[in-house]
Chain A
Amino acid sequence: MDKMPAWADAVLVPLISLILAALLSALVIVAIGESPIEALKLMVEGALMRSTGWGYTLYYATNFIFTGLAVSVAFHAGLFNIGGEGQATLGGLGVALVCLYLPWPHWSLALIGASLGAAVFGALWALIPAYFQAKRGSHIVITTIMFNFIAAALLNYVLVNLLKPVGTMDPASALFPPATHLPTFQEMFSSPESPLFRGAPANISFFLALIACVVVWLLIWRTRLGYEIRALGHSESAARYAGISPVRIIIVTMLISGALSGLMAVNTTMGESERLLMNATEGAGFIGIAVALMGRNHPLGVLLAAILFGFLYQGGAELALWTNIPRELIVVIQALVILFTGALDNMVRIPLEKLFLAMRRGNT
């Protein structure tokens, strides 16, 4: 009865969309007088051919995995959480407080503590919109995006007035104590003979992100809570019929979603900058929406899409460094990828469905 095989839906559709986006991007690069082949070469070399490039790609990917998972989990409950930015911002605050004010004997314990701090702060920031959605029917898209602005302002205030060390000009917290330093890929995988990931920010939180993928997969498809989340996402009246409380599921789902967004800060704030900065999220909360969209809200898809976007981020930085192609162009390319994989999904899907149908007719 299905129109096309599942693998085609999961692999072929995004792949073709991606190729279309790449072709259009190539045209844009031609239009500004550069060679798209050269540009692609630079991006691939810069992001994927050297271990340092991978170190950056995976660092960005780590952020996108967390925010992508956050959007996915909420989406399964029919909630469109676009407040990843704000939740990650607050997650950063949680990480900073845990790292600055608690004495940690070892990074592994600090990692657990900071993860908890990030998750709790992110979750609480999502709780307020969740409560308004569940109890008052205030639309979560509106409230979460407004909470992004509030989060940015709050962080600004906290950094400037409370966390900034006396005598510094920089709106940033003090450096975290050395015991909270997370192992980077360089420290984990290099040996004196073969230096790897030199200077790259990728760190152990990438593995935390991988664990999050597995946990989210288990949560959504193997637990009762996931079953109820998906049921609510498909039909609220059916959920109520089955005795599932929409209020409870909305709140619990948003807590999980906010916690996942918040966890992103472990990578940026603890793993990379080792102090709390303004704008540490760098828009990753929004990229998470594209990642979830492209990854079809499945953890494996989110992982792959996050790596793709990590590649685009790092490759874009390389382009800006070595060519006259401005860094903004990479935003154009990202936008095209989002446009084709998200908004124009049916443009690829419908002809493909027809093709499969015709092939099936031909066979029978």
Chain B
Amino acid sequence: MTDQAPAIELRGISKAFGPVQANKDISIRVMPGTIHGIIGENGAGKSTLMSILYGFYKADAGEVFIAGKKTEIPDSQAAINAGIGMVFQHFKLVQNFTVLENVILGAEEGRLLRPSLSKARGALKKLAEEYELSVDPDALVQDLSVGHQQRVEILKALYRQADILILDEPTGVLTPAEADHLFRILDNLRAEGKTIILITHKLREIMEITDTVSVMRRGEMTATVKTAETSPEALAELMVGRKVLLRVDKAPARPGAKLLEIENLRLTDETGVQRLRGISLDLRAGEVLGIAGVAGNGQSELLEVLGGYGTATGIVRVNGVEIPLSGTGCTGQARRAAGIGHVPEDRHHDGLILPYTAWENACFGYHRDPAFQKGILMNNAAIREDAKGKMERFDVRPPNPNLAARNFSGGNQQKIVLAREIEHNPDILLIGQPTRGVDIGAIEFIHQQIIRLRNQGKAILLVSVELDEIFSLSDRIAVMFDGQIMGFRDAAQTDQRELGLMMAGITQDPGGDPLAAIDATLAAKEAREAAQHG
């Protein structure tokens, strides 16, 4: 194998955006017939590198060799011609086209569609058998589950004769079972001699499927190692540049009084689709209740309702007192007064005002606090002082309260939000995706803060799409699927497989390969939404 030319070789790739050096002198060799992982934190330059390879950006310097031949990739058409296929994190499919129509889009032969379509139908059938990539060619993409849409993306690339497949964070939107299936497809592709580049920030996936792994940090390629010869700890250290704890140490929970009771919570969105379908749960002091689930199954709506900026029906009691779920008493302000803190899922759109300075953000939502007022004006000096303290205690870097929030890294932005919510000493803390887009070093810190809060006797409702995170923080786990809670499990007495099935709406283990059952429940969900929508 060593005498073979690499499928892709990059030499000295550099790319700067203004003052930001996104890629610095990157060289990498990807051998044919292997799965090559590229791992790195957000902003490490992975996506930029792949965008250069796919012709979206032009590198400032460096060369690309495909199968040993120097290749210019000025646009994505050139990349496709060179045999590169890309599966983006956000799919690029036409929602109201069929699978077949999507597959030939941009690869039509001639002015008439029919010959292309029938040719594609045959090719698709062959690909489906070869790689376990079955999708109904006549289904509309909008009716497919996310996992199937991803398969369409892969089929699109293969239909264009791609020998090299790049997948950007492919498992972010999949249930664990769907992710397993994706990995089986990748395995098959590898066996057929295809070359795969897998971009991810999940160490587990790298260890599970790749042959070789390259680590990126701050625009540089810090190491390329054989996966068999490394460990998650070693990779994490290469990503962050220092030793990190991947496990959270915590004592057993000592749950106290019920702080939050939810009964039969229902929400129908403006398009008529039911997003919450009778959620009931209790949350006790001193425990972390993790809500697992694939994104888009009602978790966001649950947080919004509890945070006071979504209206719903049902009963929610805080410390035994019922709180209004619509009308004038249903505001973020009222929730904060009731003792609910909220770290929202999307810090860019909800948790922070990006052009605001750190100090303006550090009081956001609590800006009516009398301590922050001076007559009819705001006491900016006091707010700034307060922010400075919060930033020091939560290790926000740089500790400059006058810097705009957008100039902080994801991890430090999250620390600002967390500091603001935690320091107001809520009884109940809602946390959505606490470590999305957050660097590993900050993840460690954020997890410690959550556990510290729980040990102080606060009640914590954690929503995360990362099962690892749910497992390492939660005392109890509830799984949400299609606006319902599929069940509660004790974190110590469940496993990835059981939760994975529940995340796909299956509470009884069907045994064997669960994919057929998963497809059925997901299809039922899509059908319900489509029916309500219409």
Contacts and interface: CB of A to CB of B under 8 A. Distances in A.
Contacts of B355: 234
Contacts of A353: 18
Contacts of A241: 307, 309, 332, 342, 344, 350-351, 365
A224 B407 contact: no
A1 B407 contact: yes
B365 A222 contact: no
A360 interface: yes
Interface residues of B, number: 34
B378 A234 contact: no
Nearest to A222: B377
* From B353, B365, B377, residue with most partner A Cβ within 10 Å: B353
Given A3-B19, A218-B377, A245-B331, A237 B367 contact: no
Contact of B353 (A1, A2, A224, A234): A234
Interface in A239-287: 240-245
Nearest to B333: A243
Most buried by B among A3, A227, A238, A244: A238
B368 A224 contact: yes
Which range holds the interface residue count of chain A?
20 to 34
B351 A231 contact: no
A242 to B, nearest CB: 4
B19 A235 contact: no
B376 A235 contact: no
A59 to B, nearest CB: 32
B336 interface: yes
B367 A242 contact: yes
Contacts of B18: 3, 353, 357
B311 to A, nearest CB: 11
Contacts of B364: 231, 238, 242
Contact of A238 (B333, B334, B351, B377): B351
Interface string B332-370: 111110000010101001111111100010001101100
A221 to B, nearest CB: 9
Given A223-B378, A231-B364, A240 B309 contact: yes
A352 to B, nearest CB: 13
B308 to A, nearest CB: 7
A296 to B, nearest CB: 13
B308 A243 contact: yes
A223 B378 CA distance: 5
Contacts of B222: none
Nearest to B331: A243
A1 B398 CA distance: 12
A243 B356 contact: no
B350 A223 contact: no
A223 B380 CA distance: 9
A231 B356 contact: yes
Contact of A227 (B335, B350, B360): B360
B507 interface: no
Contacts of A234: 353-356
Interface of A is mostly: helix
B19 A238 contact: no
Nearest to B363: A227
B373 interface: yes
A237 B350 contact: yes
Nearest to B342: A241
Nearest to B373: A224
A222 B378 contact: yes
B376 A223 contact: yes
A218 B375 CA distance: 13
Contact of B19 (A240, A244, A357): A357
A243 to B, nearest CB: 3
A2 B354 CA distance: 14
A238 B342 CA distance: 12
B16 to A, nearest CB: 10
B139 to A, nearest CB: 33
B354 to A, nearest CB: 7
A240 to B, nearest CB: 4
Interface in A192-241: 218, 222-224, 227-228, 230-231, 234-235, 237-238, 240-241
A223 B377 contact: yes
Contact of A243 (B354, B365, B378, B380): B365
Contacts of B378: 222-224, 227
Contacts of A3: 18-19
A123 B333 CA distance: 28
A299 to B, nearest CB: 16
Nearest to B330: A243
A244 B350 CA distance: 12
A336 B168 CA distance: 47
Contacts of B365: 241-243
Contacts of B333: 242-243
Contacts of B309: 237, 240-241, 243
Contacts of B308: 243
Interface string B293-328: 000000000000001110000000000000000000
A360 B336 CA distance: 45
A248 to B, nearest CB: 10
Given A224-B373, A243-B308, A231 B332 contact: no
Interface string A136-170: 00000000000000000000000000000000000
A235 B344 CA distance: 14
A360 B19 contact: yes
A231 B353 contact: yes
B299 to A, nearest CB: 16
Contacts of B403: 1
Interface string B10-21: 000000001100
A237 B19 contact: no
Nearest to B335: A243
A243 B332 contact: yes
Contacts of A235: 349-350, 353-354
B307 A238 contact: no
A227 B367 contact: yes
B380 to A, nearest CB: 7
Contacts of A245: 331
A131 to B, nearest CB: 17
Contacts of A222: 377-378, 380
Contacts of A237: 309, 346, 349-350
A126 to B, nearest CB: 23
Contacts of B356: 230-231, 234
A305 B355 CA distance: 24
Nearest to A234: B353
Contacts of A357: 18-19
Contacts of B353: 230-231, 234-235, 238
A1 B19 contact: yes
Which 6 interchain pairs have the tightest Cβ spacing? A243-B333, A243-B332, A242-B365, A240-B309, A241-B350, A243-B331
Given A222-B380, A243-B336, 9 more contacts: A1-B403, A1-B407, A222-B377, A237-B309, A241-B309, A241-B332, A242-B365, A243-B332, A245-B331
Interface of A: 1-3, 218, 222-224, 227-228, 230-231, 234-235, 237-238, 240-245, 353, 357, 360
5 contacts: A241-B307, A242-B333, A242-B364, A242-B365, A243-B336
